[in-house]
Amino acid sequence: MIPLLPALSLLLTRQAAAQAPGSNESTAVVWRSGAPPYVLRLTSSTDSDSETGPRLSIRTPRGRTVVVSLPGGLVPINRGLADPAAASDNLIRSTYLYLTPRLRDAQGTPLLLAFGWAYASDPGGLVILALTPHGEPAEVFRSKAFELTNLVDLDGDGAAEIVGRHTLGEKWGRCFETYDPYSVYRLIRSPTPRAVYDTALSRAYNIAHYFGWAGPKAREDLTIVRCAPDGPRIMDKKRAEHLFDHP
């Protein structure tokens, strides 16, 4: 676990049982070292029937309020992360918000993650927030469907990359699975952080941790054949079914 910043302090008040999707949770946290605290509050949506989970309201030291949400509202960390234990290093005590020490801006300020509802067979949403040089919250990354699987430095530059999948694999037949590759986003940390898709890192990650590489997006014309004699491989869907869809 990465230790907390020495100047990072925390005042926490729980206004209701945070396990309930519509409950309130309020946290005052010194997000940037040496700066006044920000108030991070989860509130129930009152003007949209489509949001069943809470929204995030951020009160800045200058008194400005920024509201952040995802389709359907936010969900707890243990529903948003592929591996909830990955948030054990959370710098704040929150059921919904993950202030991670593994993603930081050029000044060393940690980034804030919030997760959204999953629909059908798609993963849930993800939004990542950073502070601008003027101390205003800004979105670094937003996707309505992204399963975060790792925050790890893949290129050795000292900054972690964001790794996950926009679509989830589905299995069918004897040993088939859809092609749903991992995506790697590199964090550009200055002046205001932003995440950009990196093709080279994505390709290398899929070759090392998936079944290979056939482009950055999910493809319905391709199939992963798990029962191929020489090990799992990516093949044309029709040819795979012709060769392997039998006892």
Task: State mean pLDDT over 105-129.
Answer: 93
Among 145, 165, 199, residue at a domain's last position: 145
- What pLDDT does residue 46 have? 61
* Nearest to 124, CA basis, from 164, 154, 93, 92: 164
pLDDT band at 247 (very low <50, low <70, confident <90, very high): low
In this structure, are 166 and 118 located in the same domain?
A: no
In this structure, are 164 and 245 located in the same domain?
A: yes
In this structure, are 4 and 65 located in the same domain?
A: yes
> pLDDT tens for residues 44-86?
866 555 667 899 999 999 999 999 999 999 999 999 998 889 9
In this structure, are 38 and 85 located in the same domain?
A: yes
In this structure, are 117 and 5 located in the same domain?
A: yes
In this structure, are 159 and 100 located in the same domain?
A: no
* Nearest to 44, CA basis, from 57, 62, 32: 57
Residue 174 has pLDDT above 90, yes or no: no
Q: What percent of the chain has pLDDT over 90?
A: 70
Q: Which domain holds residue 73?
A: 1-145
In this structure, are 164 and 121 located in the same domain?
A: no
In this structure, are 31 and 106 located in the same domain?
A: yes
pLDDT band at 164 (very low <50, low <70, confident <90, very high): very high
Burial of 24 (0-12, 13-18, 19+ CB in 10 A): middle
Mean pLDDT, rounded, of the chain: 87
- What pLDDT does residue 47 have? 56
In this structure, are 156 and 232 located in the same domain?
A: yes
> pLDDT tens for residues 209-243?
999 999 999 998 999 999 888 999 999 999 988 88
Question: Residue 184 and residue 186: Cα distance in Å, rounded?
Answer: 7
Task: State mean pLDDT over 203-210.
Answer: 97
Among 89, 120, 145, residue at a domain's last position: 145
Residue 23 has pLDDT above 90, yes or no: no
Question: Residue 174 and residue 165: Cα distance in Å, rounded?
Answer: 24
Q: How crowded is residue 218: how many other Cβ atoms within 10 Å of its Cβ? A: 17
How much is the pTM? 0.86
Dihedral of CA atoms 69, 70, 75, 80 in degrees, nearest 10, equals -130
- Number of structural domains in the chain: 2
In this structure, are 10 and 82 located in the same domain?
A: yes
Among 109, 128, 145, residue at a domain's last position: 145
* Nearest to 38, CA basis, from 57, 56, 58: 58
In this structure, are 9 and 112 located in the same domain?
A: yes
Burial of 228 (0-12, 13-18, 19+ CB in 10 A): middle
Whose structure tokens read 């070292």?
Answer: 33
In this structure, are 9 and 119 located in the same domain?
A: yes
